[in-house]
Amino acid sequence: MNSEPLDAVPLVARLRLLRTRLGLSQEQLARRLGVSFATVNRWESGRSRPSARARLAIAELEAAGTRGEAPADRETGRSREPAPTEDRPGRLPIAQSSFVGRERELAALSELLTRSRLINLTGPGGVGKTRLAIEAARRWAAGSGPGGDVVFVPLEAIQPPRPVASVLASRLGLRERLGVSWREAALAALRERCGLLLLDGAEHYREEVAGLAGEFLAAAPDLCIMVTSRVVLGVPGEVCSAVPPLDCPSVAAGAREIAASDAVRLFIVRASDRLPGFSAADVPPHAAGELCRRLGGLPLAIELIAGWVGTLSVREILQQRVALLEYDPPGAPGSRKLADVLRASYDLLRPAQQRTLRLLSVFTTPFSLADAQAVAGVSEQEVAGVVRGLVDASWLVVTRGLEQNQFSMVETIREFATARLREAGEAAAARRRHAMHFADLAIQSSSSLAGTDVRWWATRLASAVDDLRAMMQWADENGEVNLGLEVSAALWRWWLTSGRLSSGRAWLDKFLTAAGEHPVRTSEESQRIGRAVCAAAVLAVENGDYAEAVRLATRAMHILEPLDRGEDLALAATVLGSAQRYLGDRADARRSFQTALDLRAAIGDRAKLAMAANNLAVLEIDDGNLGRARELLEQNLIIKRRLGEPRSIAIGLVNLADVLIKDGRWQAARTSLAEAAELAVGLPQIMGLVLSSQGQLEARQRNWKQAAELFTDAVAAYGIGGHTHDVIEAMIGLGSACRELGQPDEAARHLRTAEAMAHEIANPQLLAQVTAALAETAADAAQPLPGNLTPRQAEVLRLLADGLTNKQIAARLYLSPGTVERHLATTYRKLGLGGRVDAARYAVEHGLTQHPSRPML
Ligand SMILES: Nc1ncnc2c1ncn2[C@@H]1O[C@H](COP(=O)(O)OP(=O)(O)OP(=O)(O)O)[C@@H](O)[C@H]1O
Ligand SMILES: [Mg+2]
């Protein structure tokens, strides 16, 4: 090893030189010196200087490296792996740049090397197969003692038609001998050296390598072969290990997690190689994370892009990354252009594989074989064969699933394939096929989401969410208003169950506005618009936009009534009833629900009929007719259970539990909710309802801690999707539980948020509830109420003075009539009152009716 006067070189360069000589990464050097990775990184970027002790250790290491010794690892005390000697033929190459991460893959390979004799590291060009294989071989050699010799054969450099065996022989330092073939000579030498043969870049010599590997393994029992290749060899005994891209941080990752991810670390290290002094502090972490994600974690792409930090900001690089990757990398001989690497692999594919690959680039998220078939427009059998070929050639990544596997492309590779798709003039047709396929899925999901397979459909749609968006975008951009109306009307149940109310409302609004610009001619067009208006009404009501829901539902009924008195009209009547109920117009709500019930009875759809009856039962709960409500709900559940629709059964069980809680039948309510919880798995909206009811159940039993936890979970289950009404209810419950737990500030915070939301959606019931809860919180801190009344007793008295009956008070305060009666009996006794007239007079005389923080509605 040739030595340089290290002391004469500046420290930054000196450390790099030392690492290059010893073939160490920053982490490995840090370990040797007994300091952290961050410290070495700071030294190398010039942000700090080593202490006197560290300088001594560096000098020791330099001296040992110059003498060709193996210096001890400060952390483990073990001698580090031998530095490859120049004179040994076939030695592993010395790394020119630091090695980053890959600990998981290295551990897996080290284990694999103990039990497999032919390992093929597969993966697309630039994913890091060669670097990983060399690092794994280096560690293998270090751990294998004297017999652990590695022969490295770079096949990339072969000039055809030179046979692989002759290259191997020359890497082994063999000379040509008369009567002995290169194969025989190489085999004899390998048997003697009995180590690990590393054949790097076998994709262009697949058959030759496959033949050699088979022969060598049979004849040299102690030999292991590791191959790197963009394609599978297809030899018996071959163990394929797909090299994944470097780990990228998730979208939700925090700054620390971003900085720790392998992809971002490689970017920072290479950027600091390019621009000394550059460090993680020079990049907004989220921009670095996003950049690496957009590059698909492909090391080659990351390295090439990092070369631009001297010229452009990271945000500029992010925006222009596709064009930047097309440039010839400046400087560095031997460096590669990503497009060329990919082009070379692409040229190896058969025309049918190339065509399918191009078409599959329209998928932005993982897709199934059936999706691929729809977009490729070929038979099931044909697509399976082509997809297998693309997987074997590392173009597609497989994610294994229980029911079906999913396929995807690394982002930079997808961009390459998209460019080929455009070049071939196939982009418009591919997007159309993609849109039609997902439009079909959306339309099919409409009824299926109300059926027995709801969970399967919810998962299916969740995995296709980006494709569904792309499909609607396509419809919008291409003026396909009818398709847009049809799919957005079909997707309301999905938007509802998955909590995507706002986005659903926006799509419906977009297509309805577009449709408004054209005159409606046929009844089919009217029906399509009527359905979409009805879907918009459903989402509006669940979103808490009641006035808009009434307007839309009335409009939908107006459009649909003359066309067909079927389920569409019944749904519109149901939505109208819900909005009216939330607005406090119970009589109107009852009429609308009855209309829906009559329509459904005429159609004879038992499932829908059960839903209509359920809604009437809810009105009975509101009116305090708990016995009647329970009877209706129980009858309904029998029908729902027979039909076996999980979503509908769960809603029925939650409603029944509501009645049972109000009636004080805790155990029965608990059983109902436990069953509902099982049915709600995978359905966030329903899970929110169940958790909220479980919270109510605990609250009624004064188990405030459990109640607070359940309400918190309920709010989380609803997410930010827009189930405003339900979120407010859960937040009121949470606020009240916090108050009881002696956390008045927390309570006030939740209740104020709930109050603001209730005001926004102008819901009188919720406003009444939240005002009462706030009053109780305020009363805790305020003067005691007259006659030592509790806030609840004062509340009941106020409503009594307003002329409400016990049943009406119960409904207003969401109590059972029995509870109201008990409150009144205690109040009369406490205050020595003779009856209702006395009580009303007392309330007026003591200012209870004017209390500003008491409910006014
Ligand atoms: N773990 C890593 N740490 C640091 N650099 C890496 C790492 N993995 C890959 N690289 C760098 O990324 C580039 C591409 O890696 P490599 O050459 O190993 O890819 P490959 O999969 O072998 O590509 P090809 O199929 O073209 O041979 C190289 O410059 C390499 O140094
Ligand atoms: Mg390689």
Q: Give 655-705 pLDDT, tens digit per residue.
A: 999 999 988 899 999 999 999 999 888 788 889 999 999 999 999 888 889
Residue 797, token pair as written in the block:
């008295």
CA distance 345 to 340: 9
Decide: pTM greater than 0.75: no
The pLDDT score that the predictor gives to residue 83 is 34
Structure confidence by residue, pLDDT tens digits, 725-780: 888 889 999 999 988 887 888 888 889 888 888 877 777 778 888 888 888 877 76
E runs forming strands in 61-163: 118-122, 150-154
pLDDT, block means (10 residues), the chain with 857 residues: 40 74 72 74 77 73 52 34 44 81 92 90 90 91 71 77 78 73 79 83 87 86 89 87 89 85 92 82 85 88 85 83 71 64 84 94 90 90 90 86 85 90 93 94 84 79 89 94 94 85 91 84 87 94 88 94 86 92 89 90 80 83 86 86 83 91 90 93 86 93 91 84 80 90 83 84 79 80 71 81 83 75 90 88 76 24
DSSP state of 99: -
The pick from 131, 156, 413 for probing ligand 1's pocket by mutation, whose C-beta has the most ligand atoms within 8 angstroms, reads 131
Residue 202 Cα, ligand 2 centroid: separation in angstroms?
Answer: 9
Residue 62 Cα, ligand 1 centroid: separation in angstroms?
Answer: 27
| CA-CA-CA-CA torsion sign (667, 668, 669, 673) | positive
Contact 453, 459 (CB under 8 A): no
The pick from 98, 241, 300, 325 for probing ligand 1's pocket by mutation, whose C-beta has the most ligand atoms within 8 angstroms, reads 300
The pLDDT score that the predictor gives to residue 149 is 82
297 C-beta closer than 6 A to ligand 1: no
Give the 3-state DSSP-derived string for 504-563, with helices as H, strands as E and coil as C.
Answer: HHHHHHHHHHHHHCCCCCCHHHHHHHHHHHHHHHHHHHHCCCHHHHHHHHHHHHHHHCCC
Residue 65 Cα, ligand 1 centroid: separation in angstroms?
Answer: 26
CA–centroid distance for 293 within its chain: 14
DSSP state of 92: P
29: nearest Cα among 269, 341, 197, 236: 269
298 C-beta closer than 6 A to ligand 1: no
Residue 671, token pair as written in the block:
């059983």
The greatest distance separating any two alpha carbons of the chain, rounded to the nearest whole angstrom, comes to 126
Q: Is 101 left (phi over 0), alpha (psi -120 to 50) or beta?
A: left
The pLDDT score that the predictor gives to residue 335 is 60
CA distance 315 to 321: 10
| CA-CA-CA-CA torsion sign (619, 625, 626, 630) | negative
Residues 6+ apart with CB under 8 A from 307: 270, 274, 329, 330
The pLDDT score that the predictor gives to residue 533 is 95
The pLDDT score that the predictor gives to residue 71 is 38
Residue 409 Cα, ligand 2 centroid: separation in angstroms?
Answer: 19
CA distances from 69 to 1, 63, 65, 353, 497 (A): 11, 9, 6, 52, 66
Q: Tell me the Cα Rg of the chain.
A: 36
Residue 507, token pair as written in the block:
């799509």
The pLDDT score that the predictor gives to residue 194 is 66
The pLDDT score that the predictor gives to residue 417 is 93
Residue 326 Cα, ligand 2 centroid: separation in angstroms?
Answer: 20
299 C-beta closer than 6 A to ligand 1: yes
